[in-house]
């Protein structure tokens, strides 16, 4: 009965595991020594042994990068605080799709739901890489990148913003390693903006009047900065820019030296180029139809 009830509860709770039926038999057939222990047998050696295995599982799983016990990840949050789903939820496999399929499948799967969803996301990325030829960040990045150091004044940084018509500047160390990033939004966030007059001023006026341009970049930059390797496929940047809200990602080599930057504009152009290539390959004459341009 112990083994039967255990397996039945495992199916109900969807946590199938070997029921350790031999332990129940041992308690009954173990002879005078186990019978003499009485209910103390549950504490020692059964309880102590189970606790030891749990401790080993905790250590092993966390050392190998698999969090245990597993905590369900929170639902994606729309950074703009609107009711729209996040961009990645609007295309491809959705969480609700997975729930529907699991209910239809109606079998125990030896994998938690979050891991299964992550598996499908990775599968989507792999399919994208196959369709779009594994386009890498090095192929689409801007290489002539304006940069600043932590010691650069905000005044000089603002001049670079205006000179190059850009919204972000990678911050590099003396050996050209990417250590941070500063954006126009950072300038406004750290300004003495008066709400009574702020909405009547343009960004250049805000910079001239309320931002302390004598401060250093290192005082307000975002650090550490999220970067990507130059040999990383473009698909890896999609979740970061779609859901994480990044507008630009510095690109580094294997030594973490800055070699370029990819912006949302670069990513859109890459996606358009990839779709156009697929359309061209699917046509006998190799031409891209007008619908692909639209």
57 with 150, same domain?
A: no
In terms of residue numbers, what domain contains 125? Answer: 87-131
C-beta separation of 154 from 216 below 8 A: yes
For the segment 4-18, the average pLDDT, to the nearest whole number, is 82
C-beta separation of 237 from 249 below 8 A: yes
141 with 259, same domain?
A: yes
Q: Is 6 domain-assigned? A: yes
- Give the pLDDT confidence score for residue 44 in this predicted structure: 87
Q: Is 162 domain-assigned? A: yes
User: Poorest-confidence range of 90-99, 140-149, 218-227, 282-291?
Assistant: 282-291
Q: Is 282 domain-assigned? A: no
**In 3D, which of 224, 225, 229 has the Cα closest to residue 257?**
229
Res. 39 pLDDT band, cuts 50 70 90? confident
Geometric angle at alpha carbon 269, from 139 and 287, rounded to 5°: 95
142 with 269, same domain?
A: yes
Res. 229 pLDDT band, cuts 50 70 90? very high
249 with 151, same domain?
A: yes
97 with 190, same domain?
A: no
Q: Is 280 domain-assigned? A: no
Res. 75 pLDDT band, cuts 50 70 90? low
Those residues with Cβ within 8 angstroms of residue 7's Cβ, 6 or more apart along the chain or in another chain = 19
156 with 39, same domain?
A: no
120 with 232, same domain?
A: no
Is 206 a residue whose pLDDT tops 70?
A: no
Which residues are paired to 178 by β-bridges? 172
- Give the pLDDT confidence score for residue 179 in this predicted structure: 94
Burial string for 33-62 (b: 16+ CB within 10 Å, else e) reads eeeeeeeebeeeeeeeeeeeeeeeeeeeee
Q: How confident is the model over 90-124, as pLDDT tens digits?
A: 666 677 788 888 888 877 677 777 778 888 878 87
Pairing of strands 178-183, 168-172: antiparallel
Q: How confident is the model over 134-165, as pLDDT tens digits?
A: 788 998 899 999 999 999 998 899 899 989 98
Mean model confidence pLDDT for the chain: 78
- Rank 26-30, 66-70, 81-85, 182-186 by mean pLDDT and report only the highest: 182-186
37 with 25, same domain?
A: no
Geometric angle at alpha carbon 46, from 45 and 48, rounded to 5°: 65
For the segment 37-55, the average pLDDT, to the nearest whole number, is 88
Number of domains in the chain: 4
Distance of CA 263 to the CA centre of its chain: 17
- Coil/strand/helix, residue 47: helix
C-beta separation of 277 from 133 below 8 A: yes
The DSSP secondary-structure symbol of 84 reads S
Geometric angle at alpha carbon 197, from 196 and 203, rounded to 5°: 135
């Amino acid at each position: 009965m112990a083994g039967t009830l255990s397996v039945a509860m495992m199916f109900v709770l969807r946590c199938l595991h070997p029921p350790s039926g031999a332990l129940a038999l041992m308690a009954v057939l173990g002879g005078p020594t186990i019978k003499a222990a009485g209910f103390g047998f549950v504490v020692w050696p059964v309880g102590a042994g189970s606790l030891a295995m749990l401790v080993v599982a905790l250590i092993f799983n966390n050392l190998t990068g698999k969090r245990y016990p597993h905590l369900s990840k929170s639902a994606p949050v729309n950074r703009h605080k609107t009711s729209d789903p996040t961009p990645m939820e609007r295309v491809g496999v959705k969480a609700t799709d997975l729930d529907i399929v699991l209910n239809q499948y109606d079998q125990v799967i030896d994998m938690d739901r979050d891991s299964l969803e992550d598996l499908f996301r990775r599968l989507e990325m792999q399919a994208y890489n196959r369709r779009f030829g594994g386009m890498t960040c090095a192929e689409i990045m801007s290489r002539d990148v304006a940069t600043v150091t932590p010691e650069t004044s905000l005044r000089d940084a603002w001049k670079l913003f205006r000179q190059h018509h850009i919204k972000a500047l990678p911050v590099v160390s003396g050996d050209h390693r990417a250590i941070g990033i500063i954006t126009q939004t950072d300038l406004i966030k750290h300004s003495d903006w008066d709400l009574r007059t702020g909405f009547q001023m343009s960004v250049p006026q805000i910079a001239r009047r309320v931002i302390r341009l004598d401060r250093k970049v290192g005082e307000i930059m975002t650090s550490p900065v999220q970067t990507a390797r130059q040999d990383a496929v473009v698909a890896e940047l999609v979740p970061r820019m779609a859901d994480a809200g990044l507008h630009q990602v510095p690109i580094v080599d294997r030594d973490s030296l800055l070699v370029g930057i990819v912006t949302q504009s670069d990513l859109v152009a890459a996606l358009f180029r990839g779709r156009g290539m697929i359309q061209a390959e699917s046509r006998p004459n190799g031409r891209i139809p007008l619908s692909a341009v639209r």
